[in-house]
Amino acid sequence: MNKNEIVKKASSALGKVNIKLRKHSPELLIAAGVVGTVVSTVLACKATTKLSTILDESKGNIETIHKCENDKEMEERYSQEDAKKDLAIVYIQTGVKIAKLYAPAVVLGTISIAGIVASNNILRKRNVALAAAYATVDKSFKEYRSRVVERFGDDVDKELRYNIKAKKIEEMIKDPESGKEKKSKTTVNVAAPTVDDYARFFDKTCRHYEENMNYDLMLLRSQQQLANDKLVADGFLFLSDVYDMLGITRTKMSQSVGWIYKPDGNSNGDNFVDFGVMVVKRETEDGGYEDAILMNFNVDGPILDLI
């Protein structure tokens, strides 16, 4: 292996190490800051045990100065001005000794706090960058969907987004004339079991779900109106708030996205809450199909910076 190859590999290794250090710099800084804070506290406690010696020495010097100042025999040789100068010197020396005593703890504590603050700043900048990137992607996706709707219609957009497929299934229906049940083939829209980050099925996993389609639809309409009232009253509404109203478990995403209301119009969204309720079929574990309610919330996107 020649010198150039060694230098090249060493440079590559250092570059990877540098990238990893930058990647994990917030964790490293916060860990160093916490450790440094603990160590600075220990140093301060150790310094405090030596403080009494400095204070006793200072107290003894001050008492000696006052004693000489009040001694009538030394009045001509040691004036009040001399006493004031000596007291000032004692105070300054005591202050310097105390500063030196606590200097290591103070310096280490300051560096530790600076490390914690720097870690927070790095994370804040990264979060701002992520939010900006997400907003760009969200805007592009909405523009793409609007073009799909414009060209192919809203139904095609929903079918593509939620992987809704028209399938022919066999159902047992009751003949109105004979009253007997018979098999009948029906074309229905079947939704995929998985949906996007915002959309959810209103089903048994939701706390307020009832096995009555008409009741569930009525509940969703009333909760949607309540959500709109809350949006107008507060000026903002998080998706988590809507999830809570419907008995749906919160997600990390739902705690940062939602709706913004502006009386003069909202350029970031629709200015109202729409659950986007769709009645579809969903495949069951036994291979059959059941009625399901799919909700596609028209969130504006991340709203933390818009409130």
pLDDT digits (tens, 9 = 90+) for 92-103: 999 999 999 999
Q: What was the pLDDT predicted at 222?
A: 95
pLDDT at 226: 96
Higher pLDDT, 220 or 157: 220
Residues 6+ apart with CB under 8 A from 52: none
Rounded CA separation 113/230 (Å): 41
Stretch 34-63: mean pLDDT: 90
Percent of the chain with pLDDT over 90: 28
Higher pLDDT, 290 or 229: 229
Would you give the DSSP letter of residue 209? -
Q: What mean pLDDT comes out for the span 5-26? A: 73
User: According to the model, what pLDDT value does residue 193 have?
Assistant: 60
pLDDT of 123-144, one tens digit each? 888 877 877 777 777 778 778 8
The pLDDT assigned to 1 comes to 57
**Average pLDDT along the chain:** 83
d(CA 104, CA 66): 34
* Arithmetic mean of pLDDT, 40-68: 89
Highest mean pLDDT, choosing among 164-168, 190-194, 199-203, 232-236: 232-236
pLDDT surpassing 90 at residue 234: yes
Q: In this structure, are strands 257-260 and 301-302 parallel, antiparallel, or unpaired?
A: antiparallel
Contact (Cβ atoms closer than 8 angstroms) between residue 270 and residue 192: no
pLDDT at 105: 92
Residue 201 has pLDDT above 60, yes or no: yes
Residues 6+ apart with CB under 8 A from 38: none
Token readout for 129 is 């960058």
Would the pLDDT of 276 be above 70? yes
According to the model, what pLDDT value does residue 107 have? 93
Which one has a higher pLDDT value, 221 or 211? 221
Share of the chain above pLDDT 70, in %: 86
